[in-house]
A and B are shown apart, each in its own frame.
Chain A
Amino acid sequence: MGSSSIKKRYLTQHMAMAILVAAVFLVVAPIIFILVYMIANGYSSLSWEFLTQPPSQAGRAGGIFPAIIGTVFLMLGTIIFSLPVGVMAGVYLTEYARNNWITRLINMAIINLAGVPSIVFGLFGLAVFVLTLNLGMSLIAASLTLSAQALAMTITTSRESIMAVPREYREGALAIGVSKWQTIRHIVLPSASPGILTGAILAMSRAAGETAPILVVGATFLTPGLPSSPFDRFMALPYHLYTVSAHVPGMPADVKWGVAIVLIVMVLFFNIVVALIRMKTRKR
């Protein structure tokens, strides 16, 4: 047992460490690069006017206010439609559905729903909400389309949060003659709500960044004003970003990056809210 074998082991350890650190760096570096590059190139376009004014000259001047509002509406619409359905489906699947092949098939379908390309959801929305339900190219059709896409996530997180509620809580309630529904309503759902909310907000912030689905169900590059009803067409940040980047000649570069910054900040904001909810519930 010479000291050389120990040296060799240390060497292996150092090498392993170096590889792991490099891997972490590879993950983090692009994110930092994107953020820095984006801010460096786009900060000059940011101004109060940029955030509060409608665009002019096909987006080359003015602001992006209608697109911000459109995206906020889309997020609200997504959470309004997908959260209740997601929670109810989650409750049914965890508390009531029997463990048989139908349930397993449904669970598999939900998992696969998350893997469906977003443009396919767009076409689905066009066929079902825009044409069949005759909602037209509209804010509500787009919200429903994004909700359909968000469902995979809200159902999955609801189910997981509900399953994570300790069995002892349920038993404690059932053992004093509280009905199953009362137990779900007053014990299970309150305990699961931070997790459910987290999933819903994440789904919502993901919906905020979707471009492809809304492209076919009602997003528009320029609207005369803000949507005045759910049946109006609307502007949205990701679609606006796509158009100003790809279709408007002579677009100042800092405006494109400015749109990207606003979108990223909105999404980051909601991710931070999620992180805070998680931290708070972990402490409890």
Chain B
Amino acid sequence: MNMNSIFKSSTDDNSRQADSGNASSKLRMQHMNLYYGSFHAVKDITLQVNTSSITAIIGPSGCGKSSMLRVFNRMNDLIPGASVDGLVEFDGINIYEPGVDVVELRKRIGMVFQKPNPFPMSIYDNVAFGPRRHGIRNRRALDEIVEKSLMQAALWDEVKDKLGQSGLSISGGQQQRLCIARVLAVEPEVILMDEPCSALDPIATLKIEDLMRTLSETYTIVIVTHNMQQAARVSDMTAFLMVDDGHSGVLVEYGPTSEVFTNPRDKRTEDYITGRFG
């Protein structure tokens, strides 16, 4: 895949590529600040996300976890008054640089939302939606993509006989896996998940978690979760966010999940994961 295709024009991309940092770093934030108007929502975040890993972002409600996640695929662009400064890199390219094609960026960094949001159309059309918009018209090719994506999302066996049924007719857990299949169908490199299990029952949650583990072999996953056990179970790296005195989200601790959970460096992290607040 063309590494530089997120630029609208492809001039001097190679020079931009040259100064990228760590080769295994897929996403990187350096002194990233997010503002909603005059409100400083997330303050001075520096972290890097490795390729083919699962990174969990945890923290109490309202600490800016979801806002921070939406910085990676520029979903905050949709909110009037939102602005970002600092460096946010995807494959060594600053995604907030002028000339970045946001549509192409979001194709390569897919997103799964808190509430399953299948489109009001058939299961097949839900999965084929992205590929179709990206220009794939051949029926055979679409069939293949739909089957492959649903298999990857561990949903194929449950829906293969009812692909023509509405995507809204299946259970919540199935709907969420359908949304994951919808993202997989456009072959992203990164999948952002914004509390993907918060609307699901424990069994459906476990299925999604298993799925994440499998997907992390090929994809880089960043997940926001309220559920600390979930972060502990699935993630390789954990970022703990909290609000400071000015109600801005700050990164308290970031490290390998096993360390953050068993041997936190910061007292506040320890208090949070032992359930003393949150």
Give me the interface of A with B, judged by CB distance under 8 Å: 99, 166, 168-169, 171-179, 182, 186-187, 190-191, 284
Contact in complex: A173, B129 (CB < 8 Å): yes
- Contact check: which of A99, A171, A179, A191 meets B117 at CB < 8 Å? A171
CA distance A177 to B191 in the complex (A): 12
Q: Which residues of B contact A172 (CB under 8 A)?
A: 113, 117-119, 179, 182
Taking chain A's interface residues, is the majority helix, strand, or loop, or is none over half, making it mixed? helix
Nearest B residue (CB) for A165: B120
Task: Enumerate B153-190 residues with CB–CB distance to A below 8 Å.
Answer: 179, 182-183, 185-186, 188
Q: Which residues of B contact A178 (CB under 8 A)?
A: 103, 129-130, 133
Q: Which residues of A contact B185 (CB under 8 A)?
A: 176
Contact in complex: A175, B80 (CB < 8 Å): no
Contact in complex: B113, A177 (CB < 8 Å): no
Q: Which residues of B contact A169 (CB under 8 A)?
A: 117, 119-120
For B, the interface residue count at a CB cutoff of 8 angstroms equals 29
B101-134 CB contact bits vs A (8 Å, 1 = yes)? Answer: 0011111101111010111100000000110011
Q: Which residues of A contact B18 (CB under 8 A)?
A: none
CA distance A1 to B87 in the complex (A): 73
CA distance A169 to B108 in the complex (A): 19
- Contact check: which of B73, B118, B133 meets A175 at CB < 8 Å? B73
Is there a chain A Cβ closer than 8 Å to B75's Cβ? Answer: yes
- Contact check: which of B78, B80, B120, B183 meets A176 at CB < 8 Å? B183
CA distance A171 to B74 in the complex (A): 12
- Contact check: which of A99, A176, A179 meets B129 at CB < 8 Å? A176
Q: Which residues of A contact B119 (CB under 8 A)?
A: 169, 172-173, 187
Contact in complex: B103, A175 (CB < 8 Å): no
Residue of A171, A177, A190, A284 with most chain B CB atoms under a 10 A cut-off = A177
- Contact check: which of B75, B133, B183 meets A171 at CB < 8 Å? B75
- Shortest distance from the beta carbon of B202 to any chain A beta carbon, whole Å: 23
B35-78 CB contact bits vs A (8 Å, 1 = yes)? Answer: 00000000000000000000000000000000000000101001
- Contact check: which of A175, A186, A187, A284 meets B113 at CB < 8 Å? A175
- Shortest distance from the beta carbon of A166 to any chain B beta carbon, whole Å: 8
CA distance A186 to B80 in the complex (A): 24
CA distance A178 to B136 in the complex (A): 13
